[in-house]
Amino acid sequence: MKFWQKIYLFSFIVFALIFNAASILVIERSHNKMLEQEINSALSQNMSIHSSVDAIVPILRIFDSLDYEKTVLTNIANEFVAKNNDQHTFLTIVNDENQSIFSNTTFQMPENREELDKLDVDEIKYVLRDIDKRTILFTSNITVINHKNYVFTYMKDVTSLYEGRVDQYRFFVQVDLAAALLYMVIMFFISRGLTKPIDQLNKTAQVIAQGGFSERVQLQSKDEIGVLARNFNDMASVVEDKINDLERNNQEKQRFIDNFTHELKTPLTSIIGYANFLRTTKYNEELYLDGLDVIYSESKRLESLSHKLMDLILLQGQHFQMREHDLEAIIAEIKPTLEMKAKEKQVAIVTDCVEGKLLLEKDLIKTMIFNLVDNALKASSEQQSITIRTSWHDNHYLLEVIDEGIGIAKEHQDKIFEPFYMADKARTKVNNGAGLGLSICQSVASLHHAVIEVASEENKGTTIRVLFNPMDQSRKLSDKRI
């Protein structure tokens, strides 16, 4: 059973129970109230008769005549009945010998009258009886006249009360059916409307489960379902981001494997090929030297590749001790080495640095700067310059390595930090590169809680920025100590 059908069914059951119970309670309470009024009225009439008789008892004692008593009591009864003729009232007077003195009943009096058992003088008892499809209220009392007991029974037909109750129930059934029908129609639309957002959530969840991670629930309500929809969308966004990260990581891993295999396979193929050529060919000094040169250069490439891979693995697997160093001083310390390296290509190294004391691992920072400058040298031409600049911006220390080289195309800029990724493979191989330098730089920056960015324009140059946050460094270092 669907949720809206449950709401529809259970709300109707609750409505039917409450409405019927309340209506029955009202009808029964109204009937009992009216019956109570009739009983009180009958008791009052009975007492009135009793008072009238008590008023003439002294006179009856004077005469002390049975016939006179019967005549007087009959006259009192006739006068009372005549006065209440239109109220469906009856009166019987019976002496202690069970002889009827007066009766105006239109029905057969019952033989068993339990209300007369143990009835005391000055006591009034009442009882309801169903006689000939009528309901009669009996009220009885005893009056003593000249040492004789007379039973006065005042009766009233209260059938109309019970007929009224039946009419009320009949009317209630009609109202109940109409109300139930109207309630069912209204609740059908209400239950469908209330559960419609849940249907949207369900459909969206099905789309996401089938791979449509960008699907979202379009609900603007501020109730609990609206909050649930927003939380659902937030959850879907997180899942989509995670899935995208997993896909990107898988693609990066696959590129890493492909590139690593290719980089390993190429020099090995050359080495094996030339070694076999030299082994199976007659000695020729020129061919021999060319083959050895190829074997040597390819072996150097393998050596460089293995060293950089080791650096990359070490950076990801070890914890380094950070100490406070002045980055300006470190750059000044390695500048001669950089200039010597750049001199081979006739490129100038320019520094424009300010003091910057940071928590650094000195050797790793040197490695990062060497790699950044080496990468800039590979992109530069003769007579160009490479600028190493440091500065403070909003409590952040910025290191920039700027070259005037060929630049990097936009489609490559977000991938150049991946291992073995080479935007220009031909040029990188000429410079004996393996596409690991910038990956090492990013790992070093991450260890120092720094952000590394690239800004480049083809044929105008590239700027690599490393942004250090001293406060973030101190906080994370404290967290590690805790």
Q: Report the 10 Å Cβ neighbour count for 417.
A: 17
Cα–Cα nearest to 445, from 461, 469, 410, 428? 469
Sign of CA dihedral 176, 178, 180, 183: negative
Stated as kind and residue range, the H or E segment containing 350 is strand 348-352
Q: Which residues pair with 391 in a beta bridge?
A: 398
pLDDT band (50, 70, 90) for residue 128: very high
Sheet holding 396-403, edge to edge: 348-352, 385-393, 396-403, 461-468, 451-457
Q: Are the C-beta atoms of 404 and 384 separated by less than 8 Å?
A: yes
- Collapsing DSSP to helix, strand or coil, 325 comes out as strand
The tens digit of pLDDT for each residue in 373-387 reads 988 998 898 889 999
Helix, strand, coil percent values for the chain (each to nearest 5): 60, 20, 20
The pLDDT value recorded for residue 466 is 94
pTM for this model (two decimals): 0.51
Between 330 and 309, residue with greater pLDDT:
330
| The pLDDT of residue 350 | 94
Domain residue spans of the chain: 3-166, 211-318, 319-471
* pLDDT attached to residue 185: 94
> What proportion of the chain, given as a percentage, has pLDDT over 70?
90
DSSP for 98-109, written as a single string: S-EEEE--SSPP
Task: Say how far apart CA 216 and CA 196 lie, in whole Å.
Answer: 15
Place of tokens 């031909």: 426
Please write the tens of the pLDDT for every residue from 25-66. Answer: 999 999 999 999 999 998 998 888 888 888 888 887 777 777
Are 217 and 200 in contact by the 8 Å Cβ rule? The answer is yes
Q: Which of 58-67, 132-141, 318-327 has the highest mean pLDDT?
A: 132-141
pLDDT of residue 482: 47
pLDDT score of 399: 95
**Alpha-carbon separation of residue 218 from 191, 348, 366, 380 (angstroms):** 20, 59, 53, 53
* pLDDT value for 144: 85
Q: 211-318 belongs to which CATH class?
A: mainly alpha
CATH architecture of 3-166: 2-Layer Sandwich (3.30)
Cα-to-chain-centroid distance, residue 21: 37
Q: What is the Cα–Cα distance from 342 to 209, expressed in whole angstroms?
A: 56
The residue with tokens 């005042």 is 154
- For residues 305 and 245, the model is more confident at 245
Q: What is the mean pLDDT of residues 437-455?
A: 85
Average pLDDT, whole number, for the chain? 85
Q: Which of 118-122, 198-202, 412-416 has the largest mean confidence?
A: 198-202
Average pLDDT (433-459) is 82
Q: Considering the domain delimited by 319-471, tell me its CATH architecture.
A: 2-Layer Sandwich (3.30)
With a cut of 60, say whether residue 429 has pLDDT above it: no
Q: Does this chain's domain 211-318 share its CATH topology with 319-471? A: no
Three-state SS for 130-189 is EECCEEEEEEEEEEEECCEEEEEEEEEECHHHHHHHHHHHHHHHHHHHHHHHHHHHHHHH
Distance CA 83, CA 432 (A): 134
